């Protein structure tokens, strides 16, 4: 038997998510009502393909594992709850992200810095933030047991702390309200300005909102891509804060402090407006983007508000990445076999092939892609020596992946003109080869293999 044997992919021992669907398109077999076929939207920014709508991101990553979050390792998870907190508060039914208090303090300090850079004086900065980050009652977002008393408490505290907060001093840092707060940094102290006025958010003056909203949403690196009309509304977050068990009346303060040490474990979720939003997007590799457009027809890639056609994309991507045709051919081939290819950068190869998706299985194959002509020769993207091949084989073996060489063979009749359209893929043949080490002392006899 000269063919390589197929080894079943290894399941990951712990799987934290459930499998939704192989592809981000409505499939007849999916349970529930027949969903509308939806065309997602992505934008070309600096030769990268970004998806910005949170709903689209979720669909594209969750169904087929396309792309990666720009601020995350794989699944875009920056703007969702901290996984640890989410597990802790899993009874709380909310769609707001739960973040730890430290994180919130950071946001506050960044927002304050931003305002200061705009020339606002300290008092204004303080006041604006106070108003903006006042705890809000989130509707139905909290378990009823804890929700009510807490809101009341916070309003009460606000009145107290507000005085100090306005002055911007560091008096409050030792107070129980900030059990888990950061050190006595001036900026951090704004975290305690929990709003002296219990009035609703609408009372925040318009000038304040103007001052905050344009900047708060900005990702500093690519501020230009924010179309004004797509600006999302203020984001609400649930901040997990340490809260003391009792009230904070002055006369019992000393007692309360002792108490609060005992009750450090007791945490609350408080709904606040996020003063400094950072957006995470889904970045698609060129192959992924083109596959979604060309194979599934479920993505429109916009360049400066103009959607691009398939042929245009093919040419543009080839210009961005000269070997795009080769790598896309392989990507498409493996996708059309129902596998999930992701980049093999970390293993020194072009692609990694997952069954179902990275959360469920370990990658089975580490793939190197080459384009050759009819005579099976051609300028290789990656000419090998035995030494480099041995290295790669060893690396792949050590991470339990098989090394696959994937040759795309184009017919001799295919001209460069033909290759200017993705339709040329139909004439390309694919040869998969598995490279493996053969250990002479191990193969002496069949019995020995036990």
Pairing between β-strand 40-45 and β-strand 48-51 as defined by DSSP bridges: antiparallel
Considering beta carbons, is residue 168 or 358 the nearer one to other proteins? 358
> Does the annotation count 354 as an active-site position?
yes
Residue 405 in the binding site for other proteins (CB under 8 A): yes
Selected from 18, 376, 379, 417, the binder of other proteins by CB under 8 A is 376
Q: 10 Å Cβ neighbour count for 363?
A: 26
Considering beta carbons, is residue 223 or 336 the nearer one to other proteins? 336
Cα–Cα distance for residue pair 193/256, rounded to 1 Å: 20
Among the listed residues 61, 331, 333, 354, the single catalytic one is: 354
Cα–Cα distance for residue pair 366/354, rounded to 1 Å: 10
Least Cβ distance, residue 356 to other proteins (angstroms): 7
Residue 44 in the binding site for other proteins (CB under 8 A): no
Residue 18 structure tokens = 């459930």
Least Cβ distance, residue 288 to other proteins (angstroms): 14
Kindly report the CA angle at 165 between 159 and 167, in degrees rounded to 5? 125
Q: Which helix (H) or strand (E) holds 270?
A: strand 267-273
Return the range that interacts with other proteins (CB under 8 A); candidates 153-161, 186-194, 234-242, 287-295: 287-295
Strand partners, 218: none
Footprint (CB under 8 A) of other proteins, residues 5-34 = 6, 19, 21-23, 25-29
Selected from 98, 289, 419, 425, the binder of other proteins by CB under 8 A is 425
> Does the annotation count 132 as an active-site position?
no
Return the range that interacts with other proteins (CB under 8 A); candidates 121-129, 191-199, 238-246, 385-393: 385-393
Give alpha helix (H) positions in 263-346.
286-290, 310-320, 324-335
Q: What is the DSSP string of 58-108?
A: HHHHHTT--SEETTSSSS--TTS--HHHHHHTTTS--SSPEEEHHHHHHHH
Residue 436 in the binding site for other proteins (CB under 8 A): yes
Selected from 297, 322, 346, 391, the binder of other proteins by CB under 8 A is 297
Residue 450 in the binding site for other proteins (CB under 8 A): no
Footprint (CB under 8 A) of other proteins, residues 303-342 = 307-311, 329, 332-339
- Asked if 401 and 353 count as a contact pair (C-beta separation under 8 A), the reply is no
Q: Is the Cα dihedral 103, 108, 112, 118 positive or negative?
A: positive
> Does the annotation count 401 as an active-site position?
yes
Selected from 92, 193, 208, 408, the binder of other proteins by CB under 8 A is 408
Residue 48, classified by CB atoms within 10 Å of its CB into exposed (0-12), middle (13-18) or buried (19+), is: middle
Residue 300, classified by CB atoms within 10 Å of its CB into exposed (0-12), middle (13-18) or buried (19+), is: middle
Least Cβ distance, residue 324 to other proteins (angstroms): 15
End-to-end CA distance of the chain: 20
Selected from 221, 415, 445, 450, the binder of other proteins by CB under 8 A is 445
Considering beta carbons, is residue 152 or 411 the nearer one to other proteins? 411
Residue 118 in the binding site for other proteins (CB under 8 A): no
Least Cβ distance, residue 385 to other proteins (angstroms): 6
Residue 4 in the binding site for other proteins (CB under 8 A): yes
- Asked if 398 and 390 count as a contact pair (C-beta separation under 8 A), the reply is no
Residue 356 in the binding site for other proteins (CB under 8 A): yes
Least Cβ distance, residue 364 to other proteins (angstroms): 9
Selected from 384, 395, 397, 414, the binder of other proteins by CB under 8 A is 384
Catalytically active residues, by annotation: 354, 362, 401
């Amino acid at each position: 038997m000269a063919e390589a044997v197929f080894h079943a992919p290894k399941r990951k021992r712990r799987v934290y998510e459930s499998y939704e669907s192989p592809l981000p398109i409505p499939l007849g077999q999916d349970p529930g009502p027949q969903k509308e076929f939806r065309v997602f939207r992505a934008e070309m920014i600096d030769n990268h393909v970004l998806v910005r709508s949170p709903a689209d991101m979720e669909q594209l990553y969750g169904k087929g594992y396309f792309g990666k979050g720009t601020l995350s390792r794989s699944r875009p998870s920056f703007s969702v709850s901290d996984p640890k907190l989410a597990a802790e508060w899993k009874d709380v039914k909310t769609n707001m992200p739960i973040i730890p208090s430290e994180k919130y303090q950071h946001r506050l300090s960044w927002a304050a810095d931003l305002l200061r850079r705009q020339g606002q004086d300290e008092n204004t900065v303080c006041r604006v933030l106070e108003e903006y980050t006042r705890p809000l009652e989130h509707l139905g977002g909290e378990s009823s047991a804890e929700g009510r008393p807490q809101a009341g408490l916070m309003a009460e505290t606000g009145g107290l702390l507000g005085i100090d907060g306005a002055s911007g001093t560091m008096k409050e840092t030792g107070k129980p309200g900030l059990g888990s707060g950061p050190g006595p940094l001036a900026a951090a102290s704004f975290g305690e300005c929990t709003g002296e006025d219990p009035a609703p958010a609408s009372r925040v003056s318009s000038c304040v909102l103007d001052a905050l909203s344009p900047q708060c949403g900005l990702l500093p690196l690519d501020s230009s891509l924010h179309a004004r009309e797509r600006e999302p509304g203020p984001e609400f977050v649930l901040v997990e804060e340490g809260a003391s068990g009792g009230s904070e009346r002055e006369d019992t303060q000393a007692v309360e402090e002792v108490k609060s040490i005992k009750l450090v474990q007791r945490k609350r979720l408080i709904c606040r407006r996020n003063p400094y939003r950072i957006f995470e997007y889904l970045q698609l590799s060129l192959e992924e983007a083109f596959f979604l457009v060309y194979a599934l027809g479920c993505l429109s890639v916009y360049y400066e508000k103009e959607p691009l056609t398939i042929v245009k994309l093919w040419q543009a991507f080839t210009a961005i990445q000269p070997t795009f045709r080769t790598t896309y051919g392989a990507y498409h081939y493996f996708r059309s076999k129902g596998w999930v290819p992701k980049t093999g950068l970390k293993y020194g190869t072009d692609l990694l092939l997952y069954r179902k998706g990275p959360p469920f299985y370990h990658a089975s194959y580490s793939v190197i892609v080459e384009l050759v002509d009819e005579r099976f020769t051609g300028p290789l993207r990656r000419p090998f020596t035995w030494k480099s091949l041995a290295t790669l084989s060893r690396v792949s073996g050590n991470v339990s992946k098989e090394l696959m060489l994937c040759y795309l063979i184009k017919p001799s009749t295919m001209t460069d003109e033909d290759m200017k359209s993705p339709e040329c893929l139909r004439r390309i043949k694919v040869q998969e080869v598995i490279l493996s080490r053969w250990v002479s002392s191990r193969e002496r006899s069949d019995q020995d293999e036990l």
